[in-house]
Each structure stands twice: as structure tokens, then as C-alpha cells.
Structure 1
Amino acid sequence: MSEFINNSGKRLEGLFQFSQGILRDEDGTKLLAKYGEILKHITPHDMIAMEEKQLRMGVKPGEIKDKIEKVMNAIYDHLKNYEWNKPQEGHALYYLMQENRELEKILSELKQNLKDRAYKVAKINVSKLLLMEHHYRRKENILFPFLEKIWENCLPLSVMWSLHDDIRMKLKQLLTILSENEGFTPEIFSLIGEVFFLMYGMISKEELIIYPVAMETLTSKELRDFFSNQNRRIEQAAIRSDPEYNTIGHNLHRRK
């Protein structure tokens, strides 16, 4: 319906009511039947504005985190189809996205390790996941403070920061239990599943919501200059297993 395409107010209200229904554990099928047409036109900007509204009305970050994936699942395809100018090589966000591609490779290898019951190799790949700490720190220490200065709706960044902490906690728990065992256990499988859920979910939130809005916020020379100046700090995206590259902090395209 064209009435939703150019009406951000209606889109925001529809998404808000849908999310509120999810938070109240209402029937998802009925909610989709009621709000499905509006959800087809949701943009990343709407998602951030909706979360801002929920947080300002007193919804706790923990409540949002508990239900956010149900909301994301309902609008995933629509956000995926949202057209935006993705960052090119040389842009800070390009390198953050490249880190996600490397993370996906490790997660894929870890999935295969589980199928093969390759415990020792799985432990190595779980250890590699710790290198994403550099990625999350760059977001927290460089990207978020800047976005907080220019975004009207910046409270949702606090939820993402909290999700970073959840990933850290789960990885710590997983590494501990891996060190205490010599083979896979139901608890290990469960924890790895939680790590997959959180890390894949983080990739989606970054690349379907945060980065598109960040790119579309860069409308002034000052904003573009900021990211240009930060490239030396963010343009370091390789997760590599060999000792020379044992941190994320190495340039993907080494300068001579």
C-alpha cells in the first residue's frame, strides 16, 4: 500500500504496535495478519525510531533483547531488500563489514566441527571468536560515541552494547566448559547454539539497521571527514589464525 511507503509515522506506529504485541506474548500469526502490510515497508530508520520510543516509555533493554529476534524475523526480508549505498573500500564501515565476513567463515567452520565431532578444532575456532572483541570495542569506543552526537534516536545503541556484553559472557562460559572437558557435551552444544544465535543476530542488526542508517546520516562534509579520519583505526579487519595475524587489528590491504 502506497500509504505506508511515504508515511513514516504510520510505519513507526504499526511497527511499534507489532513489537508491543510481541512483548506481551500475543499470538504472532494474528499480529502478522494485522500489521503485515505495514511491516513490508519498514526501513532501518523505522526500527531505530521504534526502539527509541520503547526505551523512552520505560521498556527495559532486557525485555527488548528477549524479544528482538522475533521482531527481526518478521521484518528480516524487508530490511534485507532495503536499498542503501553500501560503503566501499576505504570507508571505515567497509572494514567493519569485512570483519563480519571473516566471522561468518569461522562460524561456518565451527558448524562443520560440530558435525564432524572435531572437538580440538572446535576449541581453536571458539578461541578465534574472541578476536571479535576488537570489533565490538571499535563500535563502542569510536562509532557509537559519534552516532550519539548526531542521531536523534540513539538509545537503541545501549541495547546493542548490552548484546556485546552478552556475547562476551557466553564466549567466556563456553571457553571455560571447553577447557574442562575432552569431548562435546549437551551443555557445550547448547552454549555454542547460544553463541551462534547472538553473533549471527549481531551481524544482522549491524548490517540491516545500524550501518544503513549510519551511511545515510553521512550527509555533511564534517561527518564524512570524521569517518575518513577514523579509517586508520577501523580499517583493520582480518581474523587470521597464523601468529603474525593473531588479532583483528591488521590491515586487510597492507600498504607498502
Structure 2
Amino acid sequence: VALDTLLKDIAAEIENRTGEGAEVGVGKKGVVSASDEKTVKLKQIIIDLHQGVPFEDVKKRFDELITDVEPTEIVAMEEQIIREGMPVEEVRKLSDLHVAVFKQALDAKDVPVTPEGHPVHTFMEENKIFTNTVGDMDLLFEQLQIDSTPAKLNELKQPLQEALDKLSRVEIHYQRKENQLFPFLEKHEITGPPQVMWSVHDDIRVKLKKTREAFESQDISAFLDNGQECTQAIVDMVFKENHILFPLSLDLLDQSEWVDIRNGESDIGYAFAAPAVDWLKATAVAEPAADADKAGKDAGRLSLDTGLITLNQVNLILKHLPVDLTFVDENDEARYFSAGKERIFPRSPGIIGRKVHQCHPAKSLDTVSRIVDDFKNGTKDKAEFWIQMSGRLIYIRYFAVRDDEDIYRGTLEVSQDITDIQSITGERRLLNWDD
């Protein structure tokens, strides 16, 4: 497609959707935009990358494109080209360009400063630990490259193990982004870049797993290769967060939204330690009226098909079920998840109201869409999966929820750890609390 044709088509589409051309830069709070001309050029860069144009050639053009562009504009351009139909995986190829081009210029700029206990402050404190740990790992890698013997690996085993354990905590860091921060960006119509970043998270997860496996099997060559790829990917992500994601988020989200994010953080947890300072108490924004909500739980009884119980009792029953539940309504929006003591898959209040397609990584979207579509058109009522996770067998089922008139009302996800159930044999008819 010719560049001028793309420019006309995108400009026409922007005018058709908004009634006006897109503006350059960040306008009023909560709005991110970029010029249509820059969007077309960025799209052409991605096409060239896909077609095999050398990285350095593309990097030069990208460098020229962003000389007068703020990081938030890059996000806006990514968002636009994804909406125009460019696959997320193709846009991901810009990740290396972001780091390579932005690094020198943005390293000279100050990173966001937020009060202790603020979600961004917590994210960035964790990033400091990850960065320092990567530095420790790099020094250990250097020693192992000089002496790549089993004896040397055994000598470095303890510090390597400690560093790997610290880096593995990045999983919780990413889960908090995916389940708490991303939903609020999506409410501001920033959906593409979070999908791209989530996809990179998944790559890092795979690299971490391969690094651990090589370390445990004492495959020194594979350990060095995978480990160095992994640490580089982690520090690249730290850079993108500190210099692009967090400045963008601070510009878009208001104080009440940050309060909501902070309120849900404990449902996911922290990579290292919970914030020492209770930032919520220092904010001028009041927390949700939890006391009033609590008082209303026992205000009356709910008349269900087979019983009469209070809302509080319903909540307690759902929390004590030996399965994890997540319910998505007929509009594909997450409406409920059970808050058991040990959830298999992390959930937080940030997913409530979130479109189901935004609650999953890009690689799972085709499967999610197929399940929901088949449930809606009535061709299927159930889908089942089972996976190995941390040595446990996880059974995942999806059920179409229909009313008395057989109208589709949503999808119920039920997840259960069935490892111990699988080992059951024979019978037990007597009470035995010893095991």
C-alpha cells in the first residue's frame, strides 16, 4: 500500500470517527494522541521490519521520527496502528526499537517522582531491586564465562540461586500490572500497548523458566544463553516502565483511580514487601464506603431458587468453595471473581468491568473468542482444559450460563487444583483428620 494512500485512509477514518483530525502530543488529562502522518510512518516501519528490512536501517528512520515526539505519543501511535488492524505481535517488534532509540535521550530525563506507598512508587522500588539483582547476575555470569566448569557452577550455586529467586519475583510485579494498572489504562481507551507489554511479560516468563531449568540441570551453556537473554529482557522492561508506561499512566489517571488501584494491590501481592507507608490515609480522596457496604450485607435475605440466605452468607459460601470462580456477563465484561485464600490464577478488583478479551494475553485471545462465540450462538455449553503448573495439575472448565428461557447470560470459569484428588483410591468411610 502506498504511503500517501495509507495517510489518506487513516486521516479519513480518524475524521469519520472523531469529527476532527488527530492532534500531536498529549492534550487534556486522560487523552493521548499523535499526528496521523507520524502514525502512517510508524506503521510503515513495522511493515518493513516484518518484511526483513535490516534493523539498523529501520532504526535510523525511527530515530528521525521520534526526535520531537514524547513517549506518550509513541503509545498513541501504537494504539492507532493496532486499531487499524496491525497484529499485536507485529507491533511488539518495536519494543527493541523503543529501548535502543529512547535510552540515551530518556536516561537524561528524570523518572516520575511519587509519594511512598503510591502504586507507581511501589512499582519503581521493585524495579530498583530487579535492576540491582540483574547487575549481580551479570557479574556471576562473567565468572562462569571465564570458568565454565561444573566445579565453578557449584561454587557460585548459592548466590546464583538467591539471584534467580529474586528475579522470579518479577512474576508478581507483572501480575499487578496486568490485573491492576492495565484495566485503568483500558478505561481510557489505551488497549493496544498493554497487550503488547503483556506479550513481552509472557516471553520473560518463558525465559525465566528456561533459565531455571538449565540451572537445575547444570547445563552451563544453556544457562548462560537463557540467563543473559532473560536479564536483558527484564532490564529493558524496567526501562519501558519507568520512562514510558508510568509517565503515561500518571498523565492519564486521576487521584481516585490511583486510590482504586492501591486498594486492589493486596489481592495480587508485592514482589518483595508491602509499602511501609499507608499512602491512602495521606490522600485527599476518600476510600470507598466499605463500612456502609458491610452494614448492608446483612440487611436482608436473598430469595434464591432453593433457599433464603443473606448476602453475607452468599459471599462466605463462594469464598469457601474449593474452586476458583470468575464470571463474565453477556456483554463480555468481568463481573465477579471468588476471593478464596489461595487462588490458582490471580484476580483483583481491577478486572471488574474489564472486557474478557483484555483479561488474557494475546496468545490466548483466539481460544477465548472461540469459547465465548460458541457459547453465545448455542453450539457449545462447556469447554475443558488441564495444565501442569508448578508441579500441580490444574483443571479449568468454562460453562455457558443461560437463563430459564435459554438466553445466554454469561460465562463461568471454574478452576481447581485436582492433584490430590487424582491420588484417591479405594474408599474412606471413617473420619480421619490425621492427614
Q: Report the TM-score when normalising by structure 2.
A: 0.48
Q: With a CA cutoff of 8 Å and minimum separation of 6, indicate the structure with the bigger relative contact order.
A: 1
- Equivalent residue for 1:175? 212
Structure 2 CA distance for partners of 1:179 and 1:75, relative to 1, 3 Å: same
* Percent sequence identity over aligned pairs: 23
What is the CA distance between 1:39 and its match in structure 2? Answer: 1.7
- In the alignment, the residues of structure 2 paired with residue 25 and residue 153 of structure 1 have an alpha-carbon distance, to the nearest angstrom, of 29
Write 1 or 2 for the structure with the bigger share of strand.
2
**Which structure 1 residue ranges, 4+ long, deviate > 6 Å from structure 2?**
4-7
2:244 maps to which residue? 209
CA distance, structure 1, for counterparts of residue 119 and residue 58 of structure 2: 38
Match of 1:157 among 181, 194, 199: 194
Q: Structure 1 residues 140 and 112, CA, compared in 2 at 3 Å: closer, same or farther?
A: same
| Offset of residue 18 of structure 1 | 3.5
Q: Name structure 1 gaps, 5 residues minimum.
A: 239-246
How far 1:213 sits from its partner (Å)? 0.8
CA deviation after TM superposition for structure 1 residue 56, in Å: 2.6
Mapped partners of 2:209, 2:54: distance in 1: 35
The one-letter code sitting in structure 2 at the alignment partner of 1:253 is A
Residue 55 of structure 1 aligns to a residue whose secondary structure is: helix
Query: 1:248 is matched with which residue?
Result: 271
Contact 1:147–1:154 (8 Å) recurs in 2: yes
Are 1:61 and 2:88 matched, yes or no? yes
Counterpart residue identity of residue 259, structure 2: S
Selected match of 1:230 from 256, 261, 274: 261
Which protein is bigger by CA-based radius of gyration?
A: 2
Aligned to 2:271, the other structure's residue is in SS state coil
Distance 1:83 1:22 in 2: 31
C-alpha RMSD of matched pairs (Å): 3.1
Q: Structure 1 residues 173 and 134, CA, compared in 2 at 3 Å: closer, same or farther?
A: same
After superposition, the C-alpha distances for 1:95-122 in whole angstroms (9 at most, x for unaligned) are 1111100101111111111223324321
Cα distance change, pair 141–153 in 1 and its aligned pair in 2 (3 A): closer
Aligned to 2:72, the other structure's residue is in SS state helix
Which runs of 5 or more structure 2 residues have no equivalent in the other structure? 1-23, 27-32, 145-155, 279-435
Cα distance change of structure 1 residues 132 and 35 upon mapping to structure 2, 3 Å threshold:
closer
- The Cα of 1:60 is off from its aligned counterpart by 2.6
Moved more, 12-21 or 157-166: 12-21
8 Å Cα contact 1:170-1:195 kept in structure 2:
yes
CA shift digits 1:41-100 (9 cap, x unpaired): 121222112222332333333333345203431233344456775323232111111110
CA contact (8 A) 1:127 1:175 kept: no
The alignment status of 1:195 with 2:218, answered yes or no, reads: no
- The TM-score, its normalising length taken from structure 1, stands at 0.78
Provide the secondary structure at the position in 1 that maps to 2:92.
Answer: helix
Q: What residue number does 1:97 align with?
A: 124
Distance across 1 between alignment mates of 2:75 and 2:107: 15
In the aligned structure 2, how far is the partner of 1:35 from the partner of 1:69? 11
Deviates more, 1:130-139 or 1:11-20: 11-20
Whether the aligned pair in 2 keeps the contact of 1:52 and 1:155 (CA below 8 Å) is yes
Superposed CA deviations along residues 108-143 of structure 1, whole A, max 9, x for unmatched, are 111111223324321221122111111111111111
> Is the contact between residue 23 and residue 67 of structure 1 (CA under 8 Å) also seen in structure 2?
no
Distance, in Å, in 2 between the alignment partners of 1:35 and 1:187 is 33
